Structure 1
Amino acid sequence: MALSLFTVGQFIFLFWTISITEANIDPAARAAAAAAASKAAVTAADAAAAAATIAASAASVAAATAADDAAASIATINAASAAAKSIAAAAAMAAKDTAAAAASAAAAAVASAAKALETINVKAAYAAATTANTAAAAAAATATTAAAAAAAKATIDNAAAAKAAAVATAVSDAAATAATAAAVAAATLEAAAAKAAATAVSAAAAAAAAAIAFAAAP
């Protein structure tokens, strides 16, 4: 097609050139130019016919190729559609299997949770009973400790009272002993003082008698 357009363009350019230069040539040259133009027109017509034939052949080949390509495309599309259907079926089967697996896993999880809850409840009850027993034992130990402390306090109080009584008795005995000793000491001192006084009086009388006798002596 491009070749035919180029050939027609050449013919038009040649005809234009001939038309421009026609007034400047002699009749013989004009006749030769006309003959050449006629021949060129025939050649251009032949070229156009050949180009049309080539274009028709190319169009036929292109149409056949397009038909083959379309058939191949349809086959490809059909194959892709079949593959898509197969993939969709596989996906549906996989989804079904996944749903079944999920349901089974959920059921297993529920059963496991129930078992764990039961275990937790049993452990909680055991822990509560153990805690209650421990609390009762602690309360009993506290009561025992309190009773022992009260008994120890009573013993200490009794011992303190006995010690206080013993101290009071000892103080009373010591006071009585001291009073007796003081009375004895006082009596002893009084007797000694009386004896000393008598001795002193006797000595004084003797001295007086001696003095009188000395004074009476010649």
Structure 2
Amino acid sequence: MVHRNTADNNPSIPFKFTAKNEAVIAEVLKRYPPQYKKAAVMPLLDLGQRQHGFTSISVMNEVARILEMPPMRVYEVASFYTMYNRTPVGKFFIQACTTTPCQLGGCGSDSIVKTIEESLGIKAGQTTADGLFTFIEVECLGACVNAPMVQINDDYYEDLTPETTKSLLTALRESAGDVSKIPKPGPLSGRQTCENSAGQTTLLDEPYGTEVTRPDL
């Protein structure tokens, strides 16, 4: 792993888990035999990233201390998996899929990337000056059937068009004043999940029983 100290990411910056997260850690460690507690390195890194905003060197060092691991072993994990952000990111971390299905699906991911860059005034790999948005391009996120799509923090927004993308970014920017403006995750085309955009062709009868798919899946 390559790490270069910066003003906002160096070992002298203290990091400790909150009391609430220490309780979460205690529950996580119960899942593993004491001699194998280092197996909890990934969930603890994720927890540290959620608390701190990114996986800083201080977060990694604290995870190493808790799990009694050599710090280098933690660095190896954090640098291998791309979900750990080792540099600061914005409040809204936008990951746009640009692999083949999203390039070809709907309006195509190229138009979504262009819309994001023009709306935010940044290029892929950059963060807005106000620290609100970070934008990157990524490989397949597994929602090919509803292409094109983006992941924003933990949520997927699918069936995007330039217009719905602009509306989504505007809603996120205004969410500090009214969180109800943020669209629900999932398809923004009106589809519930990934049903045929032209309408159902099978399973036309009302479902029997009370079991239904959660609308947020």
Q: Structure 2 length as normaliser, TM-score?
A: 0.14
Report 1 or 2 for greater relative contact order, CA contacts < 8 Å, sequence distance ≥ 6.
1
Is the radius of gyration larger for structure 1 or structure 2?
A: 1
Q: Structure 1 length as normaliser, TM-score?
A: 0.14
